[in-house]
Amino acid sequence: MSFDAVTTFADAHWDSHARRCIESFDRHWQGVRLMAYRDAPLGAASSWLRPFKARHAGRPTTNYRFDAVRFAHKVAAIELAYAAGTAEGLIWIDADCVTHAVVDSAWLGGLLGKADFGYLRRSMMYSECGFMIFRRGPGCDRLLRRLVELYRSDALFQLAEWHDSFAIDHVRRQCEGAGELRCVSLSGGAENTKHPLVNGPLGARLDHLKGPRKQAGRSHRHDLSRPRSEAYWKSA
């Protein structure tokens, strides 16, 4: 199975974390093309992002759960990359992720299996959407069409929370309930943790520098729910 990947970031975030993401991707990913969108080109390319941001620029942003404008960039980037790519699958990777070991198509395909959509399920809260896998086809066509429509129509604001993970969970449940989408959790045995990327199968090759971890340059040892054997984690 072949893959493209996509991420997006603001110019102001290049030095704090996006550079680390891009450079580690280039160093370790094999046979996967990365599409990296900065804010201005993303806004120019998307048919709905700029009008959405203009309509909602005055909404409060102190609580990330209601920061609709911030997370709209992610949805717009995924939509554009999904339409533009030619590979069988598309990977979303947050720009605060770091790759510390080789990532290739065989490993990625093994994570997805026969599913259409792979995501980091969390049993006690909304999913962690820092890393997702979309198989191009009818299932993810519907998923992304419904997701984008939340933003185009402003139906996003009818949800209890307005960030990307809550919106993606909403449309995923709709598609799964209708039998239109086959999903797989990428969390492995870490669904009961708040940081499933580093504690599950993805942690063997990736780290996710959420929040203050960006200043540290890596996740903390106490983020691990159990010891990991990889060299990267042993040096934490």
Report the CATH number at residue 8: 3.90.550
Angle, in degrees to the nearest 10, between helices 138-152 and 68-84: 140
State mean pLDDT over 115-129: 96
The least confident of 6-15, 57-66, 76-85, 165-174 is 57-66
In the structure, what pLDDT confidence band is assigned to residue 30 with cuts at 50, 70 and 90? very high
* pLDDT given for residue 113 in this prediction: 97
- Per the model's pLDDT, the better-predicted residue between 113 and 211 turns out to be 113
Low-confidence winner among 5-14, 166-175, 211-220 (lowest mean pLDDT): 211-220
Mean pLDDT, range 26-39, rounded to an integer: 97
pLDDT digits (tens, 9 = 90+) for 43-89: 999 999 999 999 999 887 789 899 999 999 999 999 999 999 999 99
Rounded to a whole number, what is the distance in angstroms from the first to the last CA of the chain?
A: 33
Tally of domains in the chain: 1
pLDDT, tens digit (0-9, with 9 covering 90-100), for 175-203: 999 999 999 999 999 999 999 999 999 99
In this prediction the pTM is 0.96
| Nearest residue to 53 via CA among 81, 76, 23 | 76
Dist CA 29 CA 98 (whole Å)? 11
220 vs 184: CA distance, rounded Å: 27
User: Which two tokens mark 35?
Assistant: 């599409």
- The pair of structure tokens assigned to 55 is 């309509």
- Domain extent at residue 151: 3-234
